[in-house]
Amino acid sequence: MNILKCAVLSLAASITVGSAVATPIDATKPSVVIVHGAFADGSDWAKVIPLLQAKGVRVTAVQNPLSSLADDAAAAKRAIDAQPGKVVLVGHSWGGAVITEAGATPKVAALVYVAAFAPDVGQAVGELGKNYPTPSGLAHFAPDPAGWLYLTPEGMSKHFAQDLPAAATKVMAATQGPILGAAFGDKLSVAAWKHKPSWYLLAEADRMIAPELQRATAKAINAKLSTVNASHVPQQSQPAKVAAVILDAVHSVK
């Protein structure tokens, strides 16, 4: 009985200590809603989320169905509507198109693009790179009979996330979220960046979206531009840099 009592007291003490050091949500700050891209899911942001939470920011990672722009935008809007106040909306890669479509709602106070597309009204993601160098990763799409696109293991390790360890890219390849190829032809009905302040983090070693296209995109949407020497997934290889850009947007919201 004494041993059991000691164990219970020890557990209670550890919970108390953990609660004492935990950072409470700061209700004066906007929430952050993060939208992942193709070949990924919400866990793609697992290294960034704790850095934001440590600053008292409420964070929600959307789980996109990756079945169409409309479906993904609807998922993002549900997450936005669930927040208690203003929102900083973050998108990576394909997720940039999603936040451009979903971010027009009044609750969204700022947009953050991480190595992302940001189409204009009437544009589709599939047409954005035609005037820029073709990234090497695009040669590693593997469609299934139903038209869903996967990234090959080589594509994941050498082009999508070449700055991550092989053990990590093997897991990413196995857990990736395929995207319906037809989604890349879906055209935007609204461009939230026309009316919202925007931030852009350019991945200089990106092999999925040409860095030249990223720079031109940031200029076109009048975004506050930062750069990082990283692959297409700086949120995994350099999460502190990504978190800093998001927090800059958070702190701008009054």
The arrangement of strands across the sheet holding 148-151 comes to 141-143, 148-151, 179-180
Position 81 in a domain: yes
Instruction: Judge whether residue 22 has pLDDT over 90.
Output: no
Position 21 in a domain: no
Residues 6+ apart with CB under 8 A from 70: 186
Position 22 in a domain: no
pTM confidence score: 0.91
Q: What are 191-222's pLDDT values in tens digits?
A: 999 999 999 999 999 999 999 999 999 999 99
- Residue 23's pLDDT is 82
Closest CA to 191 of 227, 217, 213: 217
Q: Looking at the DSSP assignment, which residues form a beta bridge with residue 198? A: 111
Strands 108-114 and 198-203: parallel
Contact 251, 109 (CB under 8 A): no
Q: Which CATH number characterizes residue 166's domain?
A: 3.40.50.1820
Distance CA 146, CA 130 (A): 26
The owner of tokens 């897991």 is: 171
**What sign does the dihedral 147-125-115-140 (CA atoms) show?**
positive
Percent of the chain with pLDDT over 70: 91
Q: Between 47 and 22, whose confidence is greater?
A: 47
Q: Which two tokens stand for residue 193?
A: 């960046």
Position 93 in a domain: yes
Q: What are 141-186's pLDDT values in tens digits?
A: 999 999 999 999 999 999 999 999 999 999 999 999 999 999 999 9
Single-letter amino acid code for the residue at 189: S
How many independent structural domains does the chain possess? 1
Distance CA 202, CA 147 (A): 30
Q: Which domain holds residue 144?
A: 27-252
Contact 81, 169 (CB under 8 A): no
CB atoms within 10 A of CB 71: 16
Kindly report the average pLDDT of the chain as a whole number: 92
Position 12 in a domain: no
- Residue 3's pLDDT is 44
Distance CA 121, CA 185 (A): 13
The owner of tokens 């983090």 is: 201
Mean pLDDT, to the nearest integer, of 72-93? 98
Residues 6+ apart with CB under 8 A from 231: 160, 161, 162, 163, 164, 203, 205, 206, 207, 237
- Residue 102's pLDDT is 98
Confidence class of residue 20 from pLDDT cuts 50, 70 and 90?
A: very low
- Residue 9's pLDDT is 40
Q: Which two tokens stand for residue 15?
A: 């919970």
Position 15 in a domain: no
Instruction: Judge whether residue 243 has pLDDT over 70.
Output: yes
Task: Please report how the helices 69-81 and 94-102 are oriented relative to each other, as an axis angle in degrees rounded to 10.
Answer: 60
Q: Looking at the DSSP assignment, which residues form a beta bridge with residue 151? A: 141
Position 90 in a domain: yes
Position 47 in a domain: yes
Confidence class of residue 67 from pLDDT cuts 50, 70 and 90?
A: very high
